[in-house]
């Protein structure tokens, strides 16, 4: 297997306000071209991990221990100028809400070419040509028109395509997709998931896919890390975690999902005593 591009080792974080742990010694390894699902319910800490990698943690959260090794460099101890450059060039984010992630006052062209011009120093002409080919790659029908458009003139699905194009603009090694399809309709969601997967296969990019939807994990991810209360509960290849879960919580979570293919399965509430047991388990070091 190829060398990992991202190794998170013993990452812990606490809330600045009251010291409650948000992440508890989280470790995970991501290889080139791999899609890793990061799942858990709200408060599990899944988004915090993505934010920690990108150095965009809110000021209320403080990392207390651990390493984030990206291409063998520790993002937590790097000086800030080369760090910003490294993140800007090699790691990209696909945000959750395509409605607010684009600046409403700038044309798509300006927003797509920012990185190319600032980091790659591309000329306006080459940046524009690259932006056009990117839009074609994400199957946008009239790329010329879209480049001139403002975000409000595009539908939610179109905006998410633009954001995917922007994420791939600099050929990053790692993309953090933070619930990228939660705000979309199901039919659009499927198109976007497919697009993301195809782009990723073509470019060999690794993706950290933050989601709460086990269905999306099953269809899109190669491997999965399940979190509860900031701690890794179970991890492994998708086939193993979803089809033969070792931990009772993983099984309970699967049973709670509504199933359109098997309505008699699913929608079983997670037993309160299991949650209580997990809370205790997570709290003991």
Contacting positions for other proteins (CB under 8 A): 41-42, 156, 185-190, 193-194, 197, 212-220, 238-239, 242-243, 252-254, 256-261, 263, 266-270, 275
Our CB check for other proteins shows the closer of 68 and 241 to be 241
Question: Do 28 and 37 meet the contact criterion of CB atoms below 8 Å apart?
Answer: no
Shortest Cβ distance from residue 257 to other proteins (Å)? 5
CB of 94 to other proteins, least distance (A): 17
Beta carbon of residue 255, minimum distance to other proteins (angstroms, whole number): 8
Judged by beta carbon, residue 56 or residue 239, the one nearer other proteins is 239
Residue 13: name the closest of 80, 56, 60, 54 by CA: 60
Least distance (Å) from other proteins to the CB of residue 194? 5
For residue 222, the minimal CB distance to other proteins (Å) is: 11
CB of 91 or CB of 183, closer to other proteins: 183
Nearer Cβ to other proteins (202/239): 239
Q: Which is nearer to other proteins, 109 or 235 (CB)?
A: 235
Residue 84: phi and psi, rounded to 5, are -60, -40
CB of 61 to other proteins, least distance (A): 17
217-243 exposure pattern, b = at least 16 Cβ within 10 A, e = fewer = bbebbbbbbbbbbbbbbbbbebeebbe
- Nearer to other proteins (CB atom), residue 44 or residue 169: 44
- The dihedrals phi and psi of 204, each to the nearest 5 degrees, come to 65, 30
Q: Angle of helix 124-137 relative to helix 156-168, nearest 10 degrees? A: 120
Q: Which of helix, strand or coil describes residue 241? A: helix
Q: In what order do the strands lie in the sheet with 174-178?
A: 91-94, 174-178, 206-211, 35-39, 223-228, 231-237
Residue closer to other proteins, measured from CB, 120 or 190: 190
* Nearest by Cα to 194 from 144, 138, 142, 125: 138
Whether residue 205 contacts residue 5, with contact meaning beta carbons closer than 8 Å, is answered with no
User: Rounded to the nearest 10 degrees, how much is the dihedral formed by the CA atoms of 234, 11, 101, 220?
Assistant: -30
Write the CB contacts of 74 (distance below 8 Å, at least 6 apart in sequence). 67, 68
Closest CB 115 distance from other proteins, rounded Å: 28
């Amino acid at each position: 297997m190829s060398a990992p591009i991202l190794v998170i080792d013993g990452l812990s974080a606490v809330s600045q306000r009251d010291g409650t742990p948000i992440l508890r010694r989280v470790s995970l390894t991501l290889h080139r071209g791999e899609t890793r699902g990061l799942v858990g319910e709200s408060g599990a800490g899944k988004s915090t991990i993505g934010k920690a990698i990108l150095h965009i943690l809110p000021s209320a959260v403080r990392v207390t221990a651990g390493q984030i090794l990206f291409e063998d460099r520790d993002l937590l101890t790097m000086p800030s100028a080369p760090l910003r450059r490294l993140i800007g060039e090699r790691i990209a984010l696909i945000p959750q809400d395509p409605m607010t992630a684009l600046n409403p006052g700038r044309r798509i062209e300006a927003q797509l070419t920012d990185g190319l011009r600032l980091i790659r120093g591309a000329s306006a002409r080459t940046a524009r040509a690259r932006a056009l080919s990117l839009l074609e790659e994400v199957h946008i029908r009239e790329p010329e028109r879209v480049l001139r458009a403002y975000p409000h003139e595009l539908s939610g699905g179109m905006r998410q395509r633009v954001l995917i194009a922007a994420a791939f603009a600099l050929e990053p090694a790692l993309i953090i997709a933070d619930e990228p399809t939660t705000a979309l309709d199901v039919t659009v969601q499927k198109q976007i998931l497919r697009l993301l997967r195809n782009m990723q296969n073509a470019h060999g990019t690794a993706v950290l896919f933050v989601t709460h939807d086990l269905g999306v994990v099953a269809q899109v991810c190669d491997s999965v890390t399940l979190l509860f209360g900031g701690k890794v509960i179970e991890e492994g290849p998708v086939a193993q975690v979803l089809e033969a879960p070792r931990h009772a919580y993983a099984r309970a979570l699967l049973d709670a999902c509504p199933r359109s293919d098997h309505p008699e399965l699913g929608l079983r509430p997670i037993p309160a005593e299991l949650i209580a047991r997990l809370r205790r388990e997570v709290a003991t070091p």
